[in-house]
Amino acid sequence: MALSDPRIKKQAKILVDYSLKVKQGEKVVVISEFTAKPLVLEIYKLLVTRGANEIKLQFSDNEFTEAFYKLATDLQLKHFPQTEMNETKAMDCYIRIGSPTNTRGLSGVDTDKVSQRAKVTRPILNWRVDKTRWVVTKFPTDAQAQEADMSLSEYEDFVFKAINGVDWQNKFAEQEKLRKRVDATREVHIVGEGCDLRLGIAGRTAENAGGKYNMPDGEVFTSVVERKANGYITFSYPALYLCREYSDVRLEFKDGKVIKATASKGEKDLQKILNCDPGARRIGELGLGNNYNITRFTKDILFDEKIGGSIHLALGRGYKETKSLNESAIHWDMIKDLRRGGEIWFDNKLVQKNGKWLI
């Protein structure tokens, strides 16, 4: 990709001016891998132009994270990073750009250590989510293209179509109608291959995800009443968590709790993750994928959960704005593709069939 590729400049403008609406005098942190430098540079230029008073650039890589988990003592794992917390509290806006050179960079890390550390650092994430304006995005790399079974140029086209090819003002307005319909619904019934699941959402609040926090975006999501999930679901694609794949994940729910979980690959670690805390066995989020520029699975949840005609469930922590009461160290999205034979029912009314909305 040429450094002067106009698509990079357009992505930067969407992030700074649409997603975050950065104002004069604000403080912004940009965190990315080294490979995203072309996008970081365009963002930096825009931030300076928009009058940001402080711009903190932080570059990272999975190799550093892997080294920490392999070398850190128990005392270090349990230590709360107060300096990072102080910096997080000082910032108005947060941009995170994923551009890994190795999507399996953390596959050798002990999941127990990761879960333990996630509990310690959870207050930092909670502050960032609740108290700052933030957006998460991706910059295309060879590693991501390989995961998606595409050439780099093909993957670049895919990424920029999903981000730059959407009129986000119009998408937000379109999804507002769906959000209101979800808000008026008491029970969602999802039917498909290996799936018959009823989810109670009465009293919960739906959110219109139109590009303010994720880019690409394109979904409407809500929470599930903690004891109102019954039935089973087999997810269409590998569930990815900390660079590991869990294939053919099937979850069975009773009164909101996962009572049985199986997988053809990764089942032992799946059980470990579900046992990390009580909230990990309950649903924190129900999402309705609505970006029809995303048509294929790429092993990247930022894109995959937005596939038009899919739904996703997140085990673990729910979002306070949806009135979720579920607390957990994890938030793990898993996707069900409904484009072939799937149905969504709102209070006994068929609202989506084969991935196409009927409302």
> Has residue 1 been placed in a domain?
no
Confidence of residue 1 (pLDDT cuts 50, 70, 90): low
Q: Are residues 124 and 179 in the same domain?
A: no
Last residue of a domain, which of 131, 164, 197?
Answer: 164
Q: Angle at the Cα of 20 (from 15 to 23), degrees rounded to 5?
A: 115
**289, 307 in Cβ contact below 8 A?**
yes
Q: Are residues 207 and 159 in the same domain?
A: no
163-191 pLDDT, tens digit each: 999 999 999 999 999 999 999 999 999 99
Q: Is the pLDDT of residue 2 over 70?
A: no
Q: Are residues 277 and 332 in the same domain?
A: yes
Average pLDDT over residues 126-144: 94
Average pLDDT over residues 42-62: 95
Burial of 359 (0-12, 13-18, 19+ CB in 10 A): exposed
pLDDT at 4: 73
Residue range(s) defining the domain that contains residue 110: 6-164
Q: Are residues 239 and 345 in the same domain?
A: yes
> Has residue 325 been placed in a domain?
yes
> Has residue 306 been placed in a domain?
yes
Q: Is the pLDDT of residue 61 over 90?
A: no
Q: Are residues 177 and 142 in the same domain?
A: no
| Percent of the chain clearing pLDDT 70 (strictly above) | 99
Q: Are residues 305 and 183 in the same domain?
A: yes
Per the listing, tokens 């690409």 go with 216
Q: Are residues 145 and 209 in the same domain?
A: no
Per the listing, tokens 């990072």 go with 84
Q: How far apart, in whole angstroms, are the C-alpha atoms of residue 157 and residue 169?
A: 22
Number of structural domains (the chain) is 2
Confidence of residue 3 (pLDDT cuts 50, 70, 90): low
Q: Is the pLDDT of residue 141 over 90?
A: yes
Average pLDDT over residues 10-20: 98
> Has residue 34 been placed in a domain?
yes
pLDDT at 60: 86
> Has residue 139 been placed in a domain?
yes
Q: What is the pTM of this model?
A: 0.86
Q: Are residues 321 and 212 in the same domain?
A: yes
pLDDT at 112: 84
62-117 pLDDT, tens digit each: 889 999 999 999 999 999 999 999 999 999 999 999 999 988 878 788 878 888 89
Residue 174, token pair as written in the block: 């379109």
Q: Are residues 135 and 173 in the same domain?
A: no
**Residue 72: which CATH number?**
3.40.1830.10
Which amino acid belongs to residue 359? I
pLDDT at 108: 82
CB under 8 Å to 170, separation ≥6 — which residues?
A: none
Q: Are residues 235 and 177 in the same domain?
A: yes
Q: How far is CA 185 from the centre of its chain?
A: 24
Q: Is the pLDDT of residue 244 over 70?
A: yes
Q: Are residues 145 and 212 in the same domain?
A: no
Confidence of residue 239 (pLDDT cuts 50, 70, 90): very high
